[in-house]
Amino acid sequence: MTDPSTISRLMAWYRDQCNGDWEHSFGIRIGTLDNPGWTVDIDLEDTDLEDRDFATKKIYRSDSDWIFCSKEDKKFSGGGGSDKLEQIILIFLEWASQGDTA
């Protein structure tokens, strides 16, 4: 069996949070920046991740090659250059899966 894609893994994480209530108030938002770049905001309220520590990640190589990910107020927020969307999501998924035994 091959490894699931980044998007498949993100969809699985989202699906696992949906309990008939969470998805009505919380979710995942992916948007674009005008510099250009990407933003990813993931609500952590009422999930196993809401109280888990996250070490802010800052990578800056150039105006187009950068990533900034942080957790504040029970929300994961990531931003990055125009080709960094998958890497931002992977940073979240790797953090979210820490401690999983599956």
Q: Whose structure tokens read 């999930």?
A: 47
Closest CA to 27 of 39, 35, 15: 15
Express each pLDDT in 58-81 by its tens digit.
Answer: 999 999 999 999 999 999 999 999
Q: φ and ψ at 69, to 5 degrees?
A: -130, 135
Residue 4: pLDDT band (50, 70, 90) is confident
pLDDT band at 95 (very low <50, low <70, confident <90, very high): very high
What is the model's pTM? Answer: 0.91
Counting other chains too, the contacts that 6-10 makes at CB distance below 8 Å and 24 or more residues apart are 6/86, 6/89, 6/90, 6/93, 7/89, 9/93, 10/89, 10/92, 10/93
Give the rounded percent of residues in the chain with a pLDDT score beyond 90: 90
